[in-house]
A and B are shown apart, each in its own frame.
Chain A
């Protein structure tokens, strides 16, 4: 499979293979991420979409080799330009400088007791190695880049003195401080007003184009994916169930879960009565069925589905799906 668009312009940056993150509980280990495989190429905007509890946020940090205790990475590999990110020495180099992350709630993701200027300064000083006047200059440039007016005044502001949209812009500025090649954006617009959401997405889109930064967009919102991404992976219960270019996913979802997700999104060109939920509840992660995790909620399930989880198989060029009802091309599997 070609890295991304197949137009030869892109190179493969991030390769995640079989990444598994476990959390010990009273009932045994629960897998937050279960055999995740994904690739991000240069100049690419990949979306990972799934409902709450599907392991999206755990995934974002795990890609940087970080898991909040007591969880831990139990298997798999994360390679950045061929180097093993799960090696702490490599991770220290890659974090922030190559891959930078943007988090959901910028109110709590910025240090409440440090000014915007101080938070930019420590990055520019310690992670980039700038000194003296260059720090201030670059700080102003970064704030200007993310569309903050009067950047000079804002350097002295604390997070609590900024609006939600401004905070997320500052967050993006801190992420861009070290010129990363990949941004991991974990629900960057959740909790913001719709108009602000749109502004932030547009900003991220423009920045990724202008700076040539790839983006891994983690979201529950298919609208964000449609507006922002080139390619999308659908996650369910810690596993990828479908992977497709954006247009094909929306035109012709293959996995029953992807189909359900699409039908549950309100659209202005359809009557509200056509809005459909997915029957059943998201899985309690402690009670994994042995087979396909979606089987209990799936309308098309049969006996095979209760046996073992279906592998992610290639069903067409750039299209992969993990479903026994969608047999793939022989020999092309990628769990």
Chain B
């Protein structure tokens, strides 16, 4: 187990290295931070002097080595627009994004799992149809629209929670639901299908033929077999939160997270800062996948030990 864990961690670090290198290639080979920061009609001289100022006139290999050695100590360069270390700006914002992802994941799991279980328990009955209807609706609605709706109805009209910002737990509720509802809908459907399928499998039929009730068989036999898929799917949802949903929802709710920082940096033509945000978010994705791997290994002894 420890050997396996060490291998997984090394593999994850390797993925982070490859992903960040790709980010570097995009931001330094296809274009460069100096060019992006200047207007399109800027003269060659302007570009050359800006490149020299940012050290972009040095050989690419030197710049790459700088980038990598910086990465190791957490230095992601200087934000051109805000003239502050990019890593400082990103890490200041990271806790807010992590809070949001945690809240949205809580909504996803705490709604998705029970709904899927209810639907499977009362297969083809009212609860099943109700869950299906809810998940179809939540999956079809774009998160920014759900967020907008929640702001209008619950925050502005009913005034139960603040309309924007991140002041305390209350302000976390709406954006978490805005992101989590669709994920919960997908997870509920997956859970329901998983349990229903497992119940038809020979081992479940065998359990019932030994006199165990359907409910006992669902709880004691199918849950664990569904858990692995459940964890994997939750991991995908969390991944999508880091790379997409939080970006949109942080803008809608004026949430001071990494996603909004990245959007602002794009409008400011601040490529170094964008790059820093991408590197950090990608690292979060890799960490999520690592956690999923570990969880699956704990659930299912058959998961590859290699």
Give me the interface of A with B, judged by CB distance under 8 Å: 61, 64, 66, 68, 92-97, 100-101, 103, 105, 108-114, 122-123, 126-127, 158, 160, 171, 174-175, 177-178
Contacts and interface: CB of A to CB of B under 8 A. Distances in A.
Contacts of A126: 212, 216
Contact of B224 (A64, A113, A175, A177): A113
B196 to A, nearest CB: 10
Given A68-B200, A113-B224, A103 B300 contact: no
Nearest to B124: A69
A319 B262 CA distance: 85
B25 to A, nearest CB: 43
14 contacts: A92-B213, A95-B209, A96-B212, A101-B206, A105-B202, A108-B201, A108-B202, A110-B203, A111-B221, A113-B224, A113-B225, A126-B216, A171-B206, A175-B210
Given A92-B211, A96-B209, A111 B203 contact: yes
A101 B207 CA distance: 10
Interface string B170-212: 0000000000000000000000000000001111011111111
B58 interface: no
Interface residues of B, number: 22
Question: What 5 A-B pairs come out closest when comparing CB atoms?
Answer: A96-B210, A96-B211, A95-B211, A109-B202, A108-B202
B209 A112 contact: no
B159 interface: no
Nearest to B227: A113
B306 to A, nearest CB: 15
Contacts of A64: 209
Contacts of A95: 208-211
A108 B203 contact: yes
A112 B210 contact: no
B3 interface: no
A111 B205 contact: no
Interface in B45-83: none
Contacts of B206: 101, 103, 109-110, 171, 174
A123 B210 contact: yes
